[in-house]
C-alpha cells in the first residue's frame, strides 16, 4: 500500500471534502510533530477542527507527504524493543541498536506513552496514591513534611516526583501512623510486589 493509499484510508469526509486527523499522521510515522509545526508556520497547511481534533485537508497532506523523502516507519518489533529499553539504557545506545536518530527515539517514545522512568521500579506520586488508595496530597505531604525520599525528574513539559518502594517502607517504619492510616486495599498492595507497577505500565500502553 502506497503513502497515498494509507492517507486516503485514514481520511474522513467532512462538508464534502476529505480530511485526515493530524494525530494519525504522526502516529503512523509519516512525519514528526515538529515538522507539522514548521509547515503551519510557513502557511503550508490549514488545519480544521473536527470533533475537537485537528484535521488536514487530504489534498494538502498528500502533496506535502509525498513531496518529501519517504519516512522510515516503525515496525511493531521496533516499538516493542523501545518499550523494553527506554529508560534502562542511554538513548544514543538505543538509537544505535535501532539504527535511528536519538530525536526519533524520543519522538516515538512520546507517541507510545513511555517515559524515562517507565521501566524502573520507582513510582510517581500519582501512581503511588492510586495504588495505596490515598489522596495525592497525602503523598505530597509525606514528601514535604515527613521527608519521604524522592527524586525529581523532568520529562517533557512535566516534572515528576519518583519514589522507590524501599524508601516508602522506610517511611512507614519510621512513621507508623502513616501506615496505619492506609486503607486495607493499600496495605494489601504494599504487601505484594510494588515493582509490579512496571507490568501495569506495559499492559496499559499495549491496551491503548
pLDDT string in tens for the chain (208-residue length): 677 888 888 888 888 889 999 888 888 778 888 888 888 888 888 888 998 888 989 888 888 887 765 567 788 899 888 888 887 788 889 999 998 888 888 888 878 877 776 666 778 888 889 888 999 999 999 998 988 998 887 766 678 888 888 888 889 999 999 899 899 988 888 777 655 555 545 544 444 4
Q: Is 127 found in the same domain as 104?
A: no
Do 134 and 181 fall into the same domain? Answer: yes
Residue 117 maps to a domain: no
Same domain, yes or no: 96 and 135: no
- Residue 139 domain flag: yes
Same structural domain for residues 171 and 144?
Answer: yes
Give dist(CA 158, CA 115) in Å, integer.
11
Residue 51 neighbours by CB distance under 10 Å: 8
Q: How many domains does the chain have?
A: 3
Percent helix, strand, coil in the chain (nearest 5)?
A: 55, 15, 30
pTM, 2 dp: 0.47
- Give the pLDDT of residue 206: 47
Do 187 and 127 share a structural domain?
A: yes
Which structural domain range is residue 80 located in?
76-112
The helix (H) or strand (E) run that includes residue 158 is: strand 158-163
Amino acid at each position: 500500500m502506497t503513502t497515498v493509499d494509507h492517507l486516503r484510508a485514514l481520511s474522513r469526509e467532512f462538508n464534502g471534502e476529505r480530511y485526515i486527523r493530524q494525530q494519525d499522521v504522526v502516529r503512523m510515522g509519516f512525519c514528526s510533530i515538529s515538522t507539522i509545526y514548521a509547515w503551519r508556520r510557513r502557511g503550508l497547511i490549514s488545519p480544521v477542527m473536527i470533533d475537537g481534533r485537528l484535521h488536514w485537508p487530504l489534498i494538502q497532506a498528500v502533496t506535502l507527504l509525498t513531496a518529501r523523502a519517504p519516512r522510515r516507519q516503525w515496525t511493531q518489533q521496533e516499538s516493542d524493543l523501545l518499550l523494553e529499553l527506554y529508560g534502562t539504557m542511554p538513548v544514543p545506545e538505543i538509537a544505535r541498536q535501532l539504527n535511528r536518530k536519538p530525536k526519533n527515539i524520543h519522538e516515538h517514545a512520546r507517541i507510545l506513552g513511555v517515559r524515562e522512568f517507565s521501566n524502573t521500579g520507582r513510582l510517581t506520586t500519582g501512581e503511588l496514591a492510586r495504588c495505596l488508595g490515598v489522596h495525592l496530597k497525602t503523598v505530597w505531604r509525606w514528601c514535604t513534611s515527613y521527608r519521604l525520599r524522592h527524586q525529581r525528574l523532568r520529562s517533557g513539559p512535566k516534572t515528576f516526583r519518583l519514589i522507590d518502594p524501599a524508601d516508602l517502607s522506610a517511611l512507614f517504619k519510621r512513621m507508623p501512623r502513616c501506615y496505619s492510616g492506609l486503607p486495607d486495599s493499600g496495605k494489601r498492595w504494599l504487601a505484594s510486589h510494588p515493582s509490579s507497577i512496571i507490568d501495569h505500565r506495559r499492559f496499559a500502553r499495549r491496551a491503548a
